Structure 1
Amino acid sequence: MARWLEAVGAFSARRRWWVIAAWIVLLAAAVGSMAAFAKPLDSNISVKGLQSITTLDTVQKTFGGGDNASGKVVFAAPKGQKLDAADQQAVATLTGKLAAVPGVSAAVDPFTQPKAGGLAPGGRIGYISVELHAATPSSATEQSIRTLVTHARTSQLDVEATSSIVGQTGASSSQLPGIVLALIVLLVTFGTIVAAGMPLLSALIGLGTSVTAIYAASSFVSLTAVAPTLALLLGLAVGIDYSLFIVSRHRRQLLEGMDPKTSLPLAVGTAGTAVFFAAVTVIIALAGLAVENLGFLTQMGLAAAFAVFIAMLVSLTLTPALLALAGPRVLTRRARRRLAAGETKRTRQLAAGWVAGVQKRPVLFLVASLVVVGVLAAPILGMRLGLGNDGTQPSSATERQASDLLADGFGAGVNGPLEILATYPATPTPADAAALAQRVGKTADVAQAQLAGAKGHEVLVAVVPKSGPSDEATTQLVGALRKASVARSLPGSPSLEVTGQTAVDIDISNRLASALPLYLGLIAAFAFLLMVMVFRSLLVPLKAAVSFLLSLGAALGVTVAVFQWGWLGGLVGVDPPAPLLAFLPTIVIGVLFGLSMDYEMFLVTGMREHFVHGEQPRAAVATGFQQGAKVVAAAALIMIGVFGNGVVEGSSTIRPIAFALAIGIVIDAFVVRMTLVPAVLTLFGRAAWWLPRWLQRIVPNVDVEGASLKRP
């Protein structure tokens, strides 16, 4: 593998203009294909095999509804006051304007139709029911309703709208601050704009090619809106890292006095081999999302795997072509003058001092690392997953304020109603239907249960819980209503199914949570097997797999404490504390696994390289650490900046994901890779690189350290 990649690096350097032109053509073709063929992504997330979704479809077909979107425009008098005649007139005017909006089929004034139930007890809060023609409102309809709501607000009447008719407010997040910070870190690391710009340029070209190609694929495959999410995050992250590793290796060899024409192929053959296997590890792990048998997760995984594949190809071909074009300018002028004078010695005082301290007291640093990670990971035991709703949006958003007003006036459960479909062996009597509603109404945490329809053998009951859609009590209520004992206690022996959007969201979250252990186990096992081949060792791969789980646990634990429990939440804009997004662990696993394996490969392959070339185990760990620590730290700081920008500027959906990734990288790079890893490998000694003889004959030698390559 090392020899083959060395040949790739030599070809890319020799045919640099052809390689650069080829990538420009590929990028242009991908952008053109997206412009010509891309179709809107599907915002609806469906999960096959969930009974609540099947039941919801049955309810909509049997009893109607569901084909058209509906929502509420909520209005309220100031606290301590009641709605008066002037307010009624304002509501009537607003109702008429809403009914005239293109895309709106009906708007119900609660004052003229009190049976619709749009006025809350106490006389302060009410809502206008709005029905739309389509299942999803157009952007023009959403904007028109938002405009009417904004203009209807006065000092005496607050007016807000639910997201089902105005969409979610969201927040625009620019990657520019993160990219600028990345450039600053690279400038500090390399000291020259030429070397600093190459990883960014390579990553952006690779990301642009992969993401636009993914959008172009929507012409042939129905893609969900979340499909490109992981590709965007991971494509940029690994794109910078992979190119950074090769640039760093080439620069180090030049500073040691190596000729540029010799250095470039060798850099691709050594650092490029680590890049290749890091990418293969991540690609297979992401493709492994398909085993969870969830359509949107499979799309996310395959799209991200494609982005990682393109990032790998860019780093192995375009990066050496750009390096060949730059020549010695990848070094600072001072370094070039030093080389011209025959000085090649470089010192790494900070890295050398740190690894010396770790190796002096490895047990102390190992225990300290485990304690830190264990404390940070502890909150994961209380992790709850959910899907966002109006009540989890920022307090400044109209949908959040509408949700809060509805909860104040009608109870928290009005924001997350449930439906129970009872199917009887024979046509039920009115008494059977009444008994069903009465029995459900007596269930703990049910605020209201009333008959919503009866047709043939089926009876529908509308249920309003006492708790909100994100509350644990609502999840427990859904479980309680599904117990067989409820059906057995009813006359007519019906079968009961609980559905409604809240129940569907709960089921999707539970399905995702239950699939996580299998996915984690698969990628940890695969990472172990692949690294046995890469490092020709048993203990190093075992340490890598376990240490990733430690980093993941700490990242999720801190995120639970901040975003779910609200600890120090004000510092990162937590508003309000809520269950974590059900997709968050999966996205964090995919991205953090990729970056963690990058850092592991680049740091530990350097250690193995020196061990294979004759250094004692302890010295090899120290030398490899000194050579790799700076670039790993730079790569980590770049990603912390990119994701930190998402914490500051991202939407309520992006912010916790970006936070978890930023924290995960801090823990993985600086606590696990730079502290725990050298401590463990120092304690292992020569045993770290031991592989039984029978395995040596079976496991192929991929030569990740480039032992077979010619070295000057």
Structure 2
Amino acid sequence: MAELLFRIGRLAARRAKTVIAAWVLVLAAAGAAYALWGGTLTTAITIPDIPTAEVTDRLAEEFPEAAGGSGTIVFQAEDGAFSAEQQEAIGKALTEVADVEGVEGVMDPFTTEAERSTQAEAMTSGLSQIEAGLDELDAGQAELDAARQGAEAAGADGEALAELDAQQAALDQGRAELEAQRTQLEQGAALMATAAEIRTVSEDGTAAIASVQFSEESMSLSDETKAGLTGVFEDDPIEGVQVDYSTEIAGGVPEVFGVGEAIGLVVAAVVLIVMLGTLIGAGLPILNALVGVGVGAMAAMSLSGVVEMTSVTPILGIMLGLAVGIDYSLFIINRHRRQLKDGYDLEESIPLANGTSGNAVVFAGATVVIALLALNVTGVPFLGLMGTVGAMCIVVAVLVAVTLTPALLGLVGKRVLGRKDRAAVAGDGPVKKPKAPRQFTVLGAIGIVVASVVGLLILAIPALDLRLNLPDGSTEAHDSTQYQAYEAVSESFGAGVNGPLLVVADLPPSADEAELTAHQIAVAQALFEQDDVVAVAPIGANEDGSVAAFQVVPEDGPTSESTEELVHSLRDLSPIDGVYDIGVAGSASGNIDVSDKLADALPLYLVVVVGLSLIILVLVFRSIYVPVIATLGFILSYFAALGGVVAIYQWGWLAGVFGVESPGPILNFLPTLLVGILFGLAMDYMLFLGSGMREAYAHGAPARLAVVQGLQAGRAVVTAAAIIMIAVFGGFMFSHSAMIRPIGFAMAFGVLVDAFVVRMLLIPALMHLAGDKAWWLPKWLDRILPDVDVEGASLERRHPHVEHGAEPVAADKG
């Protein structure tokens, strides 16, 4: 591989314009593919074969009219209760909403509430009238019994008794009819009692909810449908009424690149300028990264027309593509600059840098790609797709690094060095001598180990309280319409109305409507008796009465612990009374199921990644000790990063600093995603630092001296690379999307603790304490392991540096 990259680097430097033109064409092709085949991204996070999905499919079969999604429009009167004029205006506007393409139906809150009130009054009045009628029948029965006794005592004939029998039959029929009516009204009253807390207009008349039924699923709504719906109220505002929309209506695909991300790039540029001392040198890695991101992201999004792709997927690709694209190019450029300072010619240095550092870049990129592709073993389709897209962007970044970087280096020549460095190379300026490396002491190393491990464990403590879910309206920015709608519903109707549950029950055969209603009452009352259930309302039954659906309103919001417990407790009820099998669905239930599925998949994936880490590091470092401590270090940095996420985004620590307006559960796929990404990046830094230590030891340096020599050789470039990654990931911490912010923080904080605490402090200290034993490897294993030669040492032997007027000598890598 090193020899191949050497040749690629030499060819790219000689044919720089051709290589650049080729990448421009690739970029244009990716853009054309996106324009032609790019589809709509979705904000839905779904997993097949979970309980909610099964119930939802059943619901779609039995109640096709309810198969589409729904959203909520929330109205708030700005000055007291709604006036008659405002109610009328809202009703007219909702009629226009019903005509919007994609809208199946709209419920007018005032009409619905009035009907509910009228129905309740009619039911109360009907029961009173029936009781009065039964009282009259009782009085008539008493009179008829007295008449019969008198007639029998007087020896009345058969004709007289037959007339009394006819009157008795009439009384019995009247009583049966009233009893049937009373049973029907009592059943209705029983169902209304369980649904009493479900309102469409608040008790004080200041807020109202209009439910909108869509023909498509909420997460698949077109922008045209959303714009048409909201446009009704924007084009003709209702005076004195504030209108807000639930996330299903107002939520959109988060922006791919915003102000925060741009600031991250600016910080990366500043770091590169400080490190490289030249604008040209600093611009090359950023240019390479932008080309790689453009190709990778647009190529990935061109697939969104044929596969369901979540909105986070391309953003993750952009995150990774920017960060590793800059870093990988930087590693090659840094090697090239160092060689130029050591007197290498331009034509000699570029291919050698590409064959050595470029070889390490390919190996490091391969570890990230493998870790991301391994997300497919979780059995979670959307997560596997995210890993695949991320891996695609990494592959593009590596290809750009080993082809476009040498081409650009060939074009800029020695201008990749600053003026002082160019003067020093030309012999016109002072040459800086590297400082002698400062070694660890045993006590110092022990202190570093103890402090690092204790510090990381303390950071990891909040991870013990990790709760997973998906963001809802409560986590949106407080000035957003989604948050305003969520809060208005919570204050006026109860938090649970923001995330009602759907329960589907299998019913036994019913002889008539009364028996069907009796079954519905039995289920509704059993559900209503559960803790944290505020209301239960029957939605309806299928044609043959074998399946009934109910809306269950929890006490708390969709991401609360009590709602999560309620979903599980409702499922544990089945079968109710040993008769009614039930299932639970709804957006809140779906999010809980997805979170549970991901939590179950995390341990397996972590084991796979840890095993992968050990294998890769044994191959690279030909040691047992180094892979073990490097992998344990990764585990510490992972849980420390997770602890930081919980402390800030779930507990609310430093919420103002990070813009966390409403702390809540952690994004359910973040812990699993973080394993793959942080592992790949940790291995990058371990390779670039550890290979320098291994090389120094192989060249005869004592084990402890080799540690500090390798650390000194790679510390500057790894520090810059880590800061760049932190800056790029950190830019996403201030995204407008509640889903993106914790991902950006987790990766930025994970890189921070892994690079600066684990790789630069903990690992070197542990290796110092181990001494020569750090590089021990059983002889039988040494014989069967292939020589991967990550740093391309064999390449340097085949292409030794030739100083002018001197015999060929091996290149000095120190």
What SS does structure 2 have at the residue aligned with 1:128?
strand
**Counterpart AA for 1:376:** L
Q: Spell out, residue by residue over 1:106-163, the C-alpha distance to the aligned partner (whole angstroms, 9 max, x if none).
A: 4333223323641122323212233345444432332343344457778953321212
The counterpart of 1:699, out of the listed 785, 789, 793, is 785
The counterpart of 2:338, out of the listed 244, 252, 260, is 252
What SS does structure 2 have at the residue aligned with 1:388?
coil
- In structure 2, do the counterparts of structure 1 residues 129 and 33 end up closer, same or farther at CA, with 3 Å as the change threshold? closer
Task: Give yes or no for the alignment of 1:595 onto 2:594.
Answer: no
Partner of 2:551: 462
Partner of 2:204: 122
- In structure 2, do the counterparts of structure 1 residues 478 and 106 end up closer, same or farther at CA, with 3 Å as the change threshold? closer
Partner of 1:562: 648
Partner of 1:173: 258
What SS does structure 1 have at the residue aligned with 2:504?
strand
What SS does structure 1 have at the residue aligned with 2:9?
helix
**Between 667-676 and 28-37, the greater mean CA deviation after superposition:** 28-37
- In structure 2, do the counterparts of structure 1 residues 359 and 657 end up closer, same or farther at CA, with 3 Å as the change threshold? farther
What SS does structure 1 have at the residue aligned with 2:109?
coil
Q: Spell out, residue by residue over 1:528-582, the C-alpha distance to the aligned partner (whole angstroms, 9 max, x if none).
A: 1011111111111112222111111111111111111111111111121111111
**Between 364-373 and 42-51, the greater mean CA deviation after superposition:** 42-51
Partner of 1:376: 459
Residues 31-50 of structure 1 mapped to structure 2, 5 A cutoff: 31-50=31-50
What SS does structure 1 have at the residue aligned with 2:549?
strand
- In structure 2, do the counterparts of structure 1 residues 683 and 696 end up closer, same or farther at CA, with 3 Å as the change threshold? same
**Counterpart AA for 2:465:** G
The counterpart of 2:405, out of the listed 295, 319, 329, is 319
Contact 2:90 2:238 in 1 (8 A): no
- In structure 2, do the counterparts of structure 1 residues 20 and 91 end up closer, same or farther at CA, with 3 Å as the change threshold? closer
Residues 564-579 of structure 1 mapped to structure 2, 5 A cutoff: 564-579=650-665
**Counterpart AA for 2:355:** G
Structure 1 residue 178, shift from structure 2 partner: 1.9
Computing the radius of gyration over CA atoms, which structure comes out larger, 1 or 2? 2
Q: Spell out, residue by residue over 1:495-521, the C-alpha distance to the aligned partner (whole angstroms, 9 max, x if none).
A: 221112211111011111111111111
Contact 2:41 2:253 in 1 (8 A): no
Structure 1 residue 40, shift from structure 2 partner: 2.8
**Between 86-95 and 327-336, the greater mean CA deviation after superposition:** 86-95
Task: Give yes or no for the alignment of 1:83 onto 2:86.
Answer: no
The counterpart of 2:574, out of the listed 487, 495, 500, is 487
Structure 1 residue 660, shift from structure 2 partner: 1.4
Task: Give yes or no for the alignment of 1:400 onto 2:399.
Answer: no
The counterpart of 1:186, out of the listed 272, 282, 293, is 272
Q: In structure 2, what is the Cα distance between the partners aligned to 1:72 and 1:222? A: 25
Contact 1:535 1:704 in 2 (8 A): no
**Between 668-677 and 38-47, the greater mean CA deviation after superposition:** 38-47
Residues 127-146 of structure 1 mapped to structure 2, 5 A cutoff: 127-135=209-217, 136-146=220-230
- In structure 2, do the counterparts of structure 1 residues 561 and 126 end up closer, same or farther at CA, with 3 Å as the change threshold? same
Q: What is the aligned-residue identity percentage?
A: 42
Q: Spell out, residue by residue over 1:621-669, the C-alpha distance to the aligned partner (whole angstroms, 9 max, x if none).
A: 1121112111111111112221222223442221111111121121111
**Counterpart AA for 1:399:** Q
Task: Give yes or no for the alignment of 1:231 onto 2:313.
Answer: no
- In structure 2, do the counterparts of structure 1 residues 138 and 236 end up closer, same or farther at CA, with 3 Å as the change threshold? same
**Counterpart AA for 1:337:** A
- In structure 2, do the counterparts of structure 1 residues 359 and 30 end up closer, same or farther at CA, with 3 Å as the change threshold? farther
Structure 1 residue 359, shift from structure 2 partner: 7.0
Give the structure-2-normalised TM-score. 0.82
Structure 1 residue 672, shift from structure 2 partner: 1.3
Structure 1 residue 489, shift from structure 2 partner: 5.1
Task: Give yes or no for the alignment of 1:164 onto 2:236.
Answer: no
The answer for unaligned runs of 5 or more in structure 1 is none
RMSD (Å), alpha carbons: 2.5
Q: In structure 1, what is the Cα distance between the partners aligned to 2:332 and 2:369? A: 20
The answer for unaligned runs of 5 or more in structure 2 is 117-198, 798-809
Residues 515-664 of structure 1 mapped to structure 2, 5 A cutoff: 515-664=601-750
Q: In structure 2, what is the Cα distance between the partners aligned to 1:65 and 1:546? A: 54
Q: Spell out, residue by residue over 1:412-462, the C-alpha distance to the aligned partner (whole angstroms, 9 max, x if none).
A: 111111122222465575433322211111111111123322333223222
**Between 250-259 and 272-281, the greater mean CA deviation after superposition:** 250-259
**Counterpart AA for 2:291:** I
Residues 254-273 of structure 1 mapped to structure 2, 5 A cutoff: 254-273=340-359
Q: In structure 2, what is the Cα distance between the partners aligned to 1:575 and 1:240? A: 32
Contact 1:359 1:678 in 2 (8 A): no
Structure 1 residue 705, shift from structure 2 partner: 3.2
Q: In structure 1, what is the Cα distance between the partners aligned to 2:708 and 2:432? A: 15
Q: In structure 2, what is the Cα distance between the partners aligned to 1:641 and 1:359? A: 35
Residues 277-426 of structure 1 mapped to structure 2, 5 A cutoff: 277-341=363-427, 345-347=431-433, 356=439, 361-424=444-507, 426=509
**Counterpart AA for 1:534:** V
The counterpart of 2:536, out of the listed 445, 449, 452, is 449
- In structure 2, do the counterparts of structure 1 residues 155 and 578 end up closer, same or farther at CA, with 3 Å as the change threshold? farther
Q: Spell out, residue by residue over 1:60-109, the C-alpha distance to the aligned partner (whole angstroms, 9 max, x if none).
A: 22123444343222122359x43344543443354344345454454333
Q: Spell out, residue by residue over 1:287-310, the C-alpha distance to the aligned partner (whole angstroms, 9 max, x if none).
A: 111111221112111111111111
**Counterpart AA for 2:554:** P
Q: In structure 2, what is the Cα distance between the partners aligned to 1:459 and 1:35? A: 45
- In structure 2, do the counterparts of structure 1 residues 220 and 118 end up closer, same or farther at CA, with 3 Å as the change threshold? closer
Q: In structure 2, what is the Cα distance between the partners aligned to 1:111 and 1:602? A: 67
Contact 2:729 2:748 in 1 (8 A): yes
